[in-house]
Amino acid sequence: MTRKYIVVDLETTGNTHDRGDRIIQFSAVVIENLRIVDQYTTFINPGIPIPPFIEELTGIHDGMVHDAPEFKDVASIIHDLLKDAIFVAHNVIFDLRFLRNELDKAGYSNIGLDSIDTVEFAKILMPTASSFKLSELAEMLQLEHENPHQADSDALVTAELFLILIERVSSLPLITIEKLTDMAYSLKSDLYIIFQGVLQEKRKNIENLHHQLEVFRGIALKKKIFPQRINEERSLSFPKSIEEKMNLFSEMNDLKLRIGQIEMMDAVYQSFLNNKYAVIEAGTGTGKTLAYLLPSLYFANIQRQPVIISTYTIQMQEQIFNEIDRLKEIIPFSFQTSILKGRSNYINMLKFEQTLYDKDPQYDTVITKMQLLVWLVDTETGDMDELNVSSGGKLYIQRIKHDGWFSQKEKDPWIAHDFYLYARNLASRADLVITNHSMLLLDTENDQNILPDYQYIVIDEAHNLEKTARNCFGKKLEYNGLKFWIGRLGTLEKNNLFSKLEKLLNDKELSSSLHPLELEHIIIQLDLEIDELFNMIGKKVFQHYERKINKNTKQQLRITETMISDRKWIPIVLCAERVYDYFRTISKEVEQRLTLIKRENQNLKDREQAFLEETNSFLRDWNKIGEKIQQLFIKPSNQHVIWVEGDIRALPNSIGIYAQPINLGEELFDRFFIQKKGIVMTSATLTVNQSFNYFLNELGLPKEEVVEKIIPSPFCYKDMVKLMIPSDLPEVRGTDNDEYIEAISNHIISLANATDGKMLVLFTSYDMLRKTYQLIKDSSALEDFILLAQGITSGSRTRLTRNFQQFNKSILFGTSSFWEGVDIPGEDLSCLVIVRLPFSPPDEPITAAKYELIKKNGKNPFSLFALPEAVIRFKQGFGRLIRTESDRGVVIVLDRRIETTIYGKTFLNSIPDITVERGPLNAILSSIEKWL
């Protein structure tokens, strides 16, 4: 490992050298003998103005490069630095290509260099990192990163990251490094140089395996530890009085118990003790996580009954584990917690082991295998959700997921190391089992029963339970998904499941009733019929929205009983029946082949057994798809709303068909609530106008059977927030959409200048978001601001939020998922703009079906469903602004219906008591400047 490495970072005017973009800063860190020995940095005069976005991103402006050398003046220095070195960069393809172009232009052509990409390196060695962006890896590794997006700081941090990653390779067991080295030749950068070098050093000095690790069948993994259940003889009692609770928490210096928190602790404990259902709305800042964990732990230990804690988001699960760690310090008894998910979240080690023998040319598969080998040395759970893999890697994960056993469980050589069984074992010993809403509801299905036998549950983020239940009890069928499954099955020519299965039959000298060529013909016909089915459905969507072709991307078309009874629908049903028949025939034939192999051959090789498990897993999923085809097209239920969704510019590829229960209260009550003794449901947004009626109706819970409690936020909202309603905006109703968008765009521009950015703008429609964003961008009125928009600016919700926090003058445009779960505390967010009151469109399939049902029962759909649903959503949006007791800001509602309609008061009565100001924009801007 005595090679010389040059770690380079460039800042440029843009991404494309061929379009005239140039380097504005160059930095190179020299590494010799795995130590940083030197750094060379220079600004470079690009000969063109630096764009405002680059200036905002890097902090480098024209004045800083005005007197700097041109690239040709420093080209010889850079060329000499690179000589006999290995080139290292974070996203090496960009830096190396850009630099080569500039060197070539300066007369230094044909620079041949081995190169290493620290993004690729980090993906392999840090497979659970939430992001592989340099700034986020630096934060994770606690590396000092003084000036992100400046070449000197970025190059130094990249060099430090590179050395840490080499150290991580060196700490891996020899057996793991050997496997990684074999695979490294298939990577995009020359990482095999590193793996090879470490392997040679490792072989010279063979070390003992770390005491926490073991090697089984050539794979190193962490040993599984089964905690001992301590049956302490003790007389425990729940701390009932305020004094007892205060004494218990007195050792936690950073915690100040609040009255609301104490109230909630008692409410949770009593509902379990009295076998009651309880709904608790706990305002922001209550500390609800601690308020339900403490009584749950006491109850579980005193009653010797496990308590399930269910959440909606991974962030919430992390928060729960943080609070549990704090409780361990003060609770006067030992307790155990575990996390349990659905079987398919866990890795099947036999399948994984056998895929390692495949010579896979697929880059995403290779890098995912390498990530898994590194992860297995660290993971205690085997839960593949811990991994950050590419979309291509997720396809490979599908192959190695756990799906029970087709062969006898005892024949699996990995049975003693099985992660799923281990997770279940831990859950059976735990006082608290943490899971998610989907798992909680899927466990109610007959063939599941994954969770331990339980009667008591806390459902956090309970406002999302109804949405989760809709998805769990509903059906979804997508064109691209079906094509993926047919692709996995393949034909005899392709080396996929079908051809491998036939080869195994031949090897075992077995034959099935249907000739392979006949079965192949059926697979090909099925593929064609699926195209036909989705083309017909695509035409229906296109015809329905033909006049709106330039309007929107995604369209929804509800399949009504009238449409189904029309003779024009008959060809679709007939085609679906053919598809269903082909599905069943293929299923029967694959199952028959599996049974033949299983019955006739007791002595299967491990590779063959792993393949059978993979095929059986495929078959289970295949059968579920067949059932969905029947339920969606052939025997649709009138208790479900069915709709088609698709982008009319990309038919049939974009099409999905969905079905969800119209009224799931009854099903949810029968399948879930009635089976349990004590259920506590909590969230910050459950009431409308101080009433739980809407929430209880949606879940089918009789009001008289539920204990209700509202715990207000301890924050003094009057001193923290002002809500402002501009009076000089047009009314939503009766105003042309484009005219309305122009008006709100002008207001957003003015508000941005008054608040200096730090603004989250929430929309109810993506179409309006897109048009508003484009109008503001085209106006050039906010050139100094960073504009980030969901669905337009690339990146996930988390990435967009992080980017928003990174810049001083930034505006984030969001819809749908941005109304909740986005956490931007402190000065990063000081202005929240709600463009429209969040009513669901009346023609949205679920909403339309609910309206019809409520009208049929002689009631008012607006007051019973539309208004309360919008109020809950409004509360969630409002809650984005104040996250801690030191936050301060303004909420601007650009929808005048909040003050001009009778129902507007319901929105205002459902949020904390705050000052509301109304007036023309100029008066509001003046008020904002004084307030902030």
Is 422:297 a contact under the CB 8 Å cutoff?
A: no
Residue 256 belongs to some domain of the structure: no
- Asked if residue 191 and residue 89 are part of one domain, the reply reads yes
Distance CA 90, CA 133 (A): 9
Residue 132 belongs to some domain of the structure: yes
Q: Which of 15, 100, 81, 14 is nearest to 42 (CA)?
A: 81
Residue 286 belongs to some domain of the structure: no
Residue 456 belongs to some domain of the structure: no
Cα maximum dimension of the chain: 87
Question: What are the binding residues?
Answer: 282-289
Distance CA 580, CA 572 (A): 12
Residue with tokens 């990684």: 180
State the CATH number of the domain containing residue 857.
3.40.50.300
Residue 242 belongs to some domain of the structure: no
Q: In this predicted structure, what is the pLDDT of residue 236?
A: 84
- Asked if residue 905 and residue 761 are part of one domain, the reply reads yes
The first and second tokens of residue 512, run together, are 């099935």
What pLDDT digit, counting tens, does each position of 353-411 carry?
A: 999 988 877 899 999 999 999 999 999 999 999 999 998 899 899 899 998 888 777 77
- Asked if residue 725 and residue 617 are part of one domain, the reply reads no
Distance CA 643, CA 762 (A): 26
State the CATH number of the domain containing residue 104.
3.30.420.10
Of 160, 180, 207, which residue constitutes the final position of a domain?
207
- Asked if residue 743 and residue 618 are part of one domain, the reply reads no
- Asked if residue 770 and residue 859 are part of one domain, the reply reads yes
Residue with tokens 């660290």: 378
pTM of the model as a whole: 0.86
- Asked if residue 36 and residue 131 are part of one domain, the reply reads yes
pLDDT level of residue 8 (50, 70, 90 thresholds): very high
Contacts 24+ apart (CB under 8 A), 254-259: 255/287, 255/290, 255/326, 258/285, 258/286, 258/287, 258/714, 259/714
Question: What are the binding residues for ATP?
Answer: 282-289
- Asked if residue 575 and residue 490 are part of one domain, the reply reads yes
602 or 141, which is more confident: 141
Q: In this predicted structure, what is the pLDDT of residue 550?
A: 47
- Scored b (16 or more CB within 10 A) or e, 549-571 reads eeebeebbbbbbeeeeeeeebee
Rg of the Cα trace of the chain? Answer: 30
- Asked if residue 722 and residue 637 are part of one domain, the reply reads no
Average of pLDDT values for 897-926? 93
Of 207, 237, 262, which residue constitutes the final position of a domain?
207
Residue 595 belongs to some domain of the structure: yes
Could you give the C-alpha distances from 443 to 438, 471, 509, 622, in angstroms and in order?
8, 14, 41, 21
- Asked if residue 623 and residue 511 are part of one domain, the reply reads yes
Q: In this predicted structure, what is the pLDDT of residue 229?
A: 64
What pLDDT digit, counting tens, does each position of 101-127 carry?
A: 999 999 887 777 899 999 999 999 999
- Asked if residue 638 and residue 493 are part of one domain, the reply reads yes
Structural domain range at position 84 = 4-207
- Asked if residue 842 and residue 750 are part of one domain, the reply reads yes
The residue type of 30 is V
Residue 708 belongs to some domain of the structure: no
- H or E segment and range at residue 639: none
Cα-based torsion angle of the residue sequence 525, 527, 529, 530 in order, rounded to the nearest 10 degrees: 160
pLDDT above 70 covers what percent of the chain? 97
Is residue 38 helix, strand or coil? strand
Of 150, 179, 207, which residue constitutes the final position of a domain?
207
Q: Name the DSSP letter for residue 768.
A: H
Residue 193 belongs to some domain of the structure: yes
- Asked if residue 725 and residue 597 are part of one domain, the reply reads no
pLDDT level of residue 546 (50, 70, 90 thresholds): low
Distance CA 733, CA 291 (A): 44
110 or 180, which is more confident: 180
pLDDT level of residue 735 (50, 70, 90 thresholds): confident
Average of pLDDT values for 226-247? 80
Q: In this predicted structure, what is the pLDDT of residue 549?
A: 47
- 448 has pLDDT over 70: no
Tally of domains within the chain: 3
The mean pLDDT of the chain is 90
